[in-house]
């Protein structure tokens, strides 16, 4: 499992990895959707608000592994992020994207950017907020996650969108996309469409790429993947550290790594841990946790090899 690409959950007696290629990696975002949006796909109202009940049921695991689950999560968050994107208007000021969102084509680059934002939201949930998988696993066994209200969800996505746009320096790109929009970016009808198209400034022959093509090919904008497509065959979760070896492994860690391990197991966020161990950011803690998991793989692999040498006849 070298080169970890997942979310690491540290418990007192084991470490678990949720692969980013697994549909399960989007469950935390699902749990933050308001009921009004989940009702668009009513079958998912039945999904337990408790991760243990989900993982203990083949039926619920199958629901999460379906494309419908991904579409629900991605579409809801992308649509919500779109509401907070800002584009330039006359006088050097900014405005919400004008017009009915349904009249914008899936070819419009700002629609694609709204889906890219969702990937960043997932990272924020895990590394900088109290809504991580770590907290899901640390909750009491019978804990039920409360539904967010529509307003709470809107506030959440609004704050996340502003933060991601600022951190990724997307606004200059948004400005350029808006100034360079194409006729096929807008699907409005009649006079509405005609008025909108009067402001187009570049060629009608520019190449286009549908959302379906992006999803299949993993297209990028400025090197950023527009979709992080889960592999349907990926495991839901992987136990990185087993209970039997945990104590032996801890003895081999540096003082700082041991403190990170223990703080995370106690339920501290990665941002809080960064402050306690002197790291500059939550992402630095995240990378260190991945390195700790890799160290255990080396440790466990060596132990297992020695066991085989001792007990398996040649």
Per-residue CA distances from 70 to 36, 221, 306 (Å)? 17, 21, 43
118 lies in the same domain as 191: yes
Per-residue CA distances from 125 to 84, 132, 136, 164, 280 (Å)? 18, 5, 12, 12, 18
Per-residue CA distances from 19 to 122, 249, 269 (Å)? 13, 22, 19
Strands (E), 187-269: 220-221, 224-225, 238-241
CB contact at 8 A, 102 and 205: no
Count of Cβ atoms closer than 10 Å to residue 17 Cβ: 23
CB contact at 8 A, 128 and 271: yes
pLDDT of residue 6: 84
Strands (E), the chain: 6-11, 14-19, 86-88, 94-96, 220-221, 224-225, 238-241
Q: What is the CATH number of the domain that holds 300?
A: 1.10.10
66 lies in the same domain as 198: yes
260 lies in the same domain as 201: no
> Among 167, 190, 225, which residue terminates a domain?
225
In a domain, 173, yes or no: yes
Q: Hey, what are 267's tokens?
A: 């339920």
* Packed helices 282-311 and 255-265: angle between N→C axes, nearest 10 degrees: 100
pLDDT of residue 308: 46
119 lies in the same domain as 263: no
74 lies in the same domain as 212: yes
177 lies in the same domain as 45: yes
Q: Over the stretch 14-67, which tens digit does the pLDDT of each residue have?
A: 888 889 999 999 999 999 999 999 999 999 999 999 998 998 999 999 999 999
174 lies in the same domain as 248: no
In a domain, 230, yes or no: no
H or E element in which residue 124 lies: helix 109-127
Domain count, the chain: 2
Q: Which domain holds residue 140?
A: 23-225
In a domain, 192, yes or no: yes
pLDDT of residue 305: 53
> Among 175, 192, 225, which residue terminates a domain?
225
Count of Cβ atoms closer than 10 Å to residue 251 Cβ: 7
Per-residue CA distances from 173 to 20, 168, 252, 295, 309 (Å)? 27, 10, 47, 40, 58
> Among 225, 257, 282, which residue terminates a domain?
225
In a domain, 278, yes or no: yes
198 lies in the same domain as 305: no
Cα–Cα distance for residue pair 300/241, rounded to 1 Å: 8
**Block means of pLDDT (10 residues each) for the chain, length 314 residues?**
70 84 95 96 96 92 95 96 94 90 86 95 89 88 93 97 97 94 70 42 38 46 43 64 75 91 87 91 87 78 54 46
pLDDT of residue 203: 33
CB contact at 8 A, 143 and 149: no
Among 249, 280, 164, 303, residue whose Cα is nearest residue 288: 280
pTM to 2 decimal places: 0.74
In a domain, 126, yes or no: yes
């Amino acid at each position: 499992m070298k080169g970890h690409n997942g979310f690491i959950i540290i418990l007192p007696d084991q470490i678990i990895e949720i692969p980013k290629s697994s549909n399960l990696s989007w469950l935390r975002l699902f749990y933050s959707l308001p009921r009004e949006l989940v009702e668009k796909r009513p079958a998912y109202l039945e999904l337990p608000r408790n991760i243990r009940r989900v993982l203990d049921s083949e039926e619920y695991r199958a629901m999460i592994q379906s494309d419908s689950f991904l579409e629900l999560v991605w579409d809801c968050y992308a649509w919500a992020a779109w509401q907070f994107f800002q584009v330039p208007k006359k006088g050097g000021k900014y405005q919400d994207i004008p017009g009915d969102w349904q009249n914008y084509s899936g070819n419009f680059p700002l629609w694609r950017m709204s889906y890219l934002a969702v990937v960043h939201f997932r990272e924020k949930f895990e590394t900088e907020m109290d809504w991580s998988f770590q907290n899901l696993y640390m909750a009491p066994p019978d804990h039920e996650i409360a539904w967010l209200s529509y307003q709470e969800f809107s506030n959440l996505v609004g704050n996340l969108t502003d933060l991601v746009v600022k951190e990724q320096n997307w606004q200059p790109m948004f400005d350029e996309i808006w100034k360079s929009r194409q006729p096929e970016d807008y699907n409005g009808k009649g006079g509405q469409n005609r008025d909108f198209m009067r402001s187009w400034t570049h060629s009608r022959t520019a190449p286009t790429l549908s959302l379906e093509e992006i999803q299949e090919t993993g297209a990028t904008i400025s090197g950023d993947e527009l979709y992080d497509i889960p592999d349907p065959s990926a495991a839901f979760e992987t136990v990185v550290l087993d209970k039997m070896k945990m104590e032996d492994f801890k003895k081999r860690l540096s003082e700082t790594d041991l403190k990170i391990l223990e703080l995370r197991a106690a339920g501290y966020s990665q941002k809080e841990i960064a402050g306690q161990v002197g790291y500059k950011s939550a992402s630095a803690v995240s990378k260190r946790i991945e390195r700790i998991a890799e160290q255990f793989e080396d440790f466990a692999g060596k132990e297992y090899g020695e066991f085989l040498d001792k007990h398996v006849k040649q």
